[in-house]
């Protein structure tokens, strides 16, 4: 099989497992705020990657939790979103509110879709605390949390975060932000290694002029 054909097959396989596509379709109407739809796709892909090195985590818990973890942001007034997630947040209570409301919405979706073989109580417990609880209640929760934070270091995450913060979001600001707010909260060995590696790469990119004499493209 040619390299081009292999890539086409990869795209055909998609990001989501067949079991989770109905959950995704049910969740999408709640994910059309603050780019949570794009975020969810990226976190799902990262979670699948992390699961390869975390056999003690339960894929049938982690991935449904990823699909549904941010549905609660739909209930937060749009004008208040940045006050909850900005660099100097004044409404941290809204972070907790989106978890509580997200659990309620996720429970309704799970009851309606009824995905086979999914521990619904465990999924809901992960959603209820995925941002405000720094410790993990299980290996599955640890994978979910790490994938959620690791997204910030993906091309999609970097692009969107810089769009959200505008002129404030210089390269130096971004690296300082992830080193202060995200990387220290990674919980799994593979998540910690991913965050350190990508952050080191970002720092190297920022220093290219020092070593290239301004000659790099």
Predicted TM-score (pTM) of the model is 0.91
Query: What torsion do the CA atoms of 174, 180, 186, 187 make, to the nearest 10 degrees?
Result: 180
Average confidence (pLDDT) over 163-179: 91
Query: What confidence category does residue 192 fall into, taking pLDDT thresholds of 50, 70 and 90?
Result: very high
pLDDT tens-digit series, residues 133-170: 999 999 999 999 999 999 999 999 999 999 988 888 89
Query: What confidence category does residue 56 fall into, taking pLDDT thresholds of 50, 70 and 90?
Result: very high
SS3 of 125, please?
A: helix
pLDDT at 213: 77
Identify which of 64, 26, 36, 27 has the alpha carbon closest to the alpha carbon of residue 48.
64
pLDDT at 214: 61
Cα–chain center distance at 70: 9
In angstroms, rounded to a whole number, what is the distance separating the alpha carbons of residues 203 and 174?
A: 10
CATH class belonging to 18-204 = mainly alpha
Average pLDDT, the chain: 91
């Amino acid at each position: 099989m040619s390299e081009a054909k292999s890539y086409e097959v990869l795209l055909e396989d998609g990001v989501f497992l067949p079991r989770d596509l109905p959950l995704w379709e049910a969740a999408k109407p709640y994910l059309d705020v603050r780019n949570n739809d794009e975020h969810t796709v990226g976190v799902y892909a990262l979670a699948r990657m992390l699961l390869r090195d975390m056999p003690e985590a339960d894929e049938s818990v982690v991935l449904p939790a990823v699909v549904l973890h941010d549905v609660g942001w739909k209930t937060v007034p749009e004008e208040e979103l940045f006050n909850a997630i900005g660099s100097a947040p004044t409404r941290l209570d809204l972070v907790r509110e989106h978890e509580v409301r997200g659990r309620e919405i996720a429970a309704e979706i799970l009851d309606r879709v009824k995905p086979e073989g999914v521990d619904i109580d465990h999924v809901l417990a992960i959603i209820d605390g995925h941002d405000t609880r720094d410790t993990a209640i299980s290996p599955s929760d640890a994978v979910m949390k790490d994938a959620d934070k690791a997204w910030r270091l993906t091309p999609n995450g970097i692009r969107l975060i810089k769009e959200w913060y505008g002129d404030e979001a210089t390269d130096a600001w971004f690296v300082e932000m992830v080193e202060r707010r995200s990387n220290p909260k990674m919980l799994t060995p593979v998540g910690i290694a991913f965050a350190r590696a990508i952050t080191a790469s970002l720092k190297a990119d920022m220093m290219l002029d020092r070593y290239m004499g301004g000659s790099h493209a």
